[in-house]
Chain A
Amino acid sequence: MNKSVCVVLSLLILSIIGGVAQSQTVGMEQRAVPLDQTFDAQNFTKLEISPRYGNLQLQPGESKELTVTIKNKEKKPITVSPHVEVPPYGEYVMEKEWVTVTPASSEIPAGGSQNFVIKAAIPADASVGYYNAMVAFTDETIPTPYPQPFPNYVHTFSLSVNVWTPPKVQIQKPYIQDQLEAGKEYDYKIKLKNTGDKAIAINPKISQQDQMYGPYGAVESAFTDDALEITSPKEIASGASVEVNVHVKVPADAKGSYRGAIDLGIDDPSIARNEWADLVRLELGVWKQPAEPFVKTFVTQEASPVTIEVSSNLFEGIYKYLAAGGAGTKNAKEPSFTVTLTGSENNAIPLNKTKTMIKGGVSLGGTGMFPPWESDSEGIYTEMGTQYVETYTADVPAGNLKLGIMPWNTQQFEYTITLGNK
């Protein structure tokens, strides 16, 4: 390779490298985002704020204090001057004067910490509602490409306050749960007491808030709202109690269950923003007694003793316990069975009821069964459900036999047929 060729090749390589370098520079310039550059260029003061959020539930006239700790992570002292900012939006707008911060200012040495006490004091005439405020410990804000209605402060503590008052009307029992029979009528009373100093109007009616839903949408109910009739006074005098009467006329062909709610329509500002607060829930299961017994046909090859066991479902009992807390329902009854046995000539074979057994399910708790605050109850027996087992014996001839079981007050049952001596 001669010298001139080497020079040409070197120039060529240099031009390629130069071209790549130039294209990279252009590329970088094209990717640059002014906002990021501005944001990165900001040298925000490094302050550790703990906690960053606080939530208080206070009644009008009450106050409460929270402590927030600011730690200076800089290598120089920082002066912190907290000020309260209230976003000009939200359900209710808090007054700045409701929140005070002490000390008003503090110089925190490098690596040092300072506690600030944030006090929220709610005036006696404040409306119930959710309020928000922010304590900004510095004036530093995060720049935004567009004007913002409210500065985006960097060093903040967010405070939310739920201002509430206890309901003036007490609902003695906010639910009605019962087991009904198709074709029968039932009456329930909802007792209300006005603890306020003024009469309060009520207007109970069926609510559409608490409908039954399944995986494919609304679930068909055992009966429609027309089956319920509600009568009540129009208002509750101060200090007085009244009864709302609910009459349920269960259609003769009703099956399944009815789940709904009565909106009491209580004119009480303290519950006005909680649409669930004056609902009385209705959970009414409709028990339809079968007209015919369940029949099981079986064959015996030779004359022999037979033992028949019929039992209600333990899991049904467990479900009922979990749902009903073991308290049961007003009209629920104990399960029982009417058991018959007939031979091939349709002749009744006498059955001897030899025993009735009550079987229980007991739990000692365990992970996930109870909420964490009930973990101390682990290891203490909790009866979960009860199963009723009836045992019958008979001497049967060879041939076809029919076992008839009529269940009473149980949705599910099991049976066993044991041929020969048990």
Chain B
Amino acid sequence: MKYVVLLIIAAVLIAGCLDTSGTKPAWAHDVSWQGDIPKSTAVVEKELWTQISPYNMEYDAVNITARNGSNGLSLRVAGVSNSAGYPDIYDFTYSKGTLTRTGYMLEAILPQDREAAIAIAMQDREVASAGVAGIPAVRRILPETSKKYYTPVTLLSVTWQGVSVLVDPQELKIVKVWKGGGTEK
């Protein structure tokens, strides 16, 4: 009996040490592939889960579209949440075991987060005086991009026609303002 208990404890410990990063994270519910589906979807997904994540929500569906090309496998990943009106879209290439992100447009943002970001952006005197009109697009900016303009944190970009405001949602402040035509401050 003593040995059985020890074996169970050992099994639990070994299981805990196993690499579970290839498994689907809790925030990704249904995952589906289409197009030129590679044989090694599990391997690609393992990499994918380290490079995408939703913002204050879970993805109800993650749709992956694959296309073979001269530079390897091109992947378009759409993260869709029932809580948000727009999806998160990521572009990747997968070649020789390396997944490289080549672009993203992340609009899956909870309504309250959208409104908070817009409220902060609209409190800027310059934005207000620019006479921005209508409901802006709100997009999430990843830390890798943010570090070029601020610090490597998640930011929200609030964009009207010709005017965009980069907002730090944690600090509740404006990081940068862009006006069409290349003016940036």
Contact = CB atoms under 8 A, between A and B. Distances in A.
A55 B104 CA distance: 31
Contact of A371 (B89, B128, B157): B157
Contacts of A276: 122-125, 128
Interface string A299-342: 00000000000000000000110111111010000000000000
B119 interface: yes
A4 interface: no
Given A281-B122, A373-B149, A379-B91, A177 B135 contact: yes
Interface string A144-172: 00000000000000000000101100111
Contact of B103 (A274, A277, A373, A376): A376
Contact of A373 (B116, B136, B148, B171): B148
Nearest to B176: A373
A174 B122 contact: yes
A246 to B, nearest CB: 17
Greatest chain A CB density within 10 A among B89, B124, B142, B159 is at B159
A374 interface: yes
Interface string A272-297: 00111101010100000000000000
Contacts of A166: 172
A368 interface: yes
Contacts of A277: 123
A377 interface: yes
B115 A172 contact: yes
Contacts of B157: 371, 373-374
Contacts of A379: 91, 102-103
A380 B159 CA distance: 16
B138 interface: yes
Given A171-B119, A371-B178, A374-B157, A164 B173 contact: yes
Contact of B178 (A172, A210, A372): A372
Interface stretch (B13-21, B92-100, B160-168): B160-168
Contacts of A57: 171, 173
Contacts of B134: 177, 283, 320, 322-325
Contacts, number: 113
A173 interface: yes
Interface in B117-175: 118-119, 122-125, 128, 131, 133-139, 141-142, 145-146, 148-149, 155, 157, 159-161, 164, 166, 171-173
Given A274-B125, A276-B124, A373-B149, A173 B115 contact: yes
A116 to B, nearest CB: 22
Contacts of B138: 325
A172 B184 CA distance: 28
B105 interface: yes
Contacts of A271: 123
A175 B91 contact: no
Contacts of A382: 105
Contacts of B35: none
Contacts of B173: 57, 164
A327 B85 contact: yes
B69 interface: no
Contacts of A164: 173
Nearest to B162: A322
A374 B141 contact: yes
A62 to B, nearest CB: 10
Contacts of A378: 103
B130 to A, nearest CB: 11
Interface in A162-201: 164, 166-167, 170-175, 177
Contacts of A377: 103-105, 139
Contacts of A368: 180-182
Greatest chain B CB density within 10 A among A57, A164, A327, A378 is at A327
A170 to B, nearest CB: 8
Contacts of B131: 213
A374 B141 CA distance: 7
A322 B122 contact: no
Nearest to A280: B122
Contact of A370 (B115, B136, B159, B171): B159
A373 B184 CA distance: 11
Given A174-B122, A279-B128, A374-B159, 19 more contacts: A170-B116, A175-B118, A175-B122, A177-B134, A177-B135, A276-B123, A276-B124, A325-B136, A325-B138, A327-B85, A329-B135, A368-B180, A372-B178, A373-B141, A373-B155, A377-B139, A380-B103, A380-B104, A380-B105
